[in-house]
Amino acid sequence: MKERPILFSAPMVRALLADTKTQTRRIVKHPHAAEVDVWADEGNGRWGMGVQEAGVSARMDAIFCPYGQPGARLWVRETWRLSSCGRHYPTQKTTAYVEWKDRQSTDRQHQQEWACSDSESEALLEKQRVGTWRPSIHMPRWASRIDLEVAGVRVERLQAISDADAIAEGIERVRGRDVPAAMGGNVQMWRDYLNPDGWQATPAGSYRTLWESINGPGSWAENPWVWVVEFKRVAP
C-alpha cells in the first residue's frame, strides 16, 4: 500500500492526538488557467473537472487526488528534533531518540526510539544537529508517530464548510468566558486563531481564522476549490 506524507501545524497535531480532528482541507492544484466550475468523481481516485455554460457542463480534464482514495495511508509530518542518536551497548544497535513539538513549549513526554543502521545514524548526526527543532517538511518517515487512513474524499469550495465539518477539522472550544449580555449571555464560543484574546461565535467562523493563520490574509475570501479528506487515526 502506498503511503503519502501530509503536514500539520502544532494545533492540528494536538487535535489529531485527541481524535477530535477527522478532516482536512487542502487547495486543489490543477494545470489549467481557466476557472473550473464543476467536479465529478470518476472513480479510483480520479476527479474530472469541467466548465459550465448555459447550464451545460463540458469536461476539461481529470486529475488524481494527491492524498489518495479511501483506504490509503497518510503519515503525519510535524515539527521535530533529535534528542540523541548513537550506538547502544551491548546490543550494538544504533538508536535515534525523537521529540515532537506539538505545544508552544517542548513536550518531553513524547519521546520514542527507533533502531536505525550505522549509515543512517551517521547521516543523522551529520545533517541534523541534536537538539535543533526541524521544520515538518524535513521529517523522515521513520520519525513520524501518527498514521491516518483515508475514509473519504470530495471536492468543494472552501466556504461551503458547515459548522459540523468545522468541528471535524479540530477547531478548539473556548471555555470559561462569558459573552457580553448584550450578545445573548453565556454561550459556547470557539477559538480565534488570529487573535489570542478573541473568540468566534460559530465553528465555521473559527475555521476561517484557522485557514487564514495558515494560508495568509485574504486566503479565505479567495474561496478556492479544496480537497476535503476525511480520515481516522490508526496504529503505525
Distances in Å between the alpha carbon of 23 and those of 139, 149, 165, 167?
A: 22, 11, 8, 9
Question: Going by C-beta distance under 8 Å and a sequence separation of 6 or more, which residues neighbour residue 69?
Answer: 44, 45, 150, 153
Read off φ and ψ for residue 195, nearest 5 degrees: -135, 105
Sheet containing 46-53, strands listed edge to edge, beginning at the edge strand earlier in sequence: 38-43, 46-53, 56-64
pLDDT tens, per residue, the chain with 236 residues: 789 999 999 889 999 999 999 999 999 998 887 788 889 999 988 999 998 776 767 788 999 999 999 999 999 999 988 777 665 556 555 566 788 877 554 455 455 566 666 666 666 655 656 678 889 998 888 889 999 999 999 999 999 999 999 999 999 998 655 555 445 555 678 999 999 888 899 999 999 999 999 999 999 999 999 999 999 999 98
Residue 121 and residue 203 in one domain:
no
Residue 133 is predicted with a pLDDT of: 85
**DSSP class per residue in 68-98:** -STT-EEEEE--EEEEEEEEETTTTEEEEEE
Whole-number pLDDT of residue 52: 78
Residue 69 domain boundaries: 3-75+146-234
Q: Is there a single domain that holds both residue 38 and residue 121?
A: no
Domain boundary among 118, 136, 154: 136
The pLDDT score that the predictor gives to residue 75 is 97
71 and 88, same domain (yes or no):
no
Last residue of a domain, one of 109, 136, 163: 136
Q: Please tell me whether residues 157 and 199 are part of one structural domain.
A: yes
Q: Considering 108, 136, 164, which residue would you say is the last residue of a domain? A: 136
- Give the CA angle between residues 145, 6, 15 to the nearest 5°: 60
Structural domain includes residue 141: no
167 and 215 in a single domain? The answer is yes
**Do both 32 and 45 map to the same domain?**
yes
pLDDT of residue 105: 46
Predicted TM-score (pTM) above 0.75: yes
Q: Are residues 25 and 52 in the same domain?
A: yes
pLDDT at 68: 94
User: Are residues 228 and 152 part of one domain?
Assistant: yes
Do the Cβ atoms of 79 and 9 come closer than 8 Å? no
Backbone angles phi, psi at 144, to 5 degrees: -75, 140
Q: How many domains does the chain have?
A: 2
pLDDT of residue 10: 87
- 71 and 153 part of one domain: yes
Tell me how far apart the terminal alpha carbons of the chain are, to the nearest angstrom: 13
Residues 165 and 67 occupy one common structural domain? yes
pLDDT at 223: 96
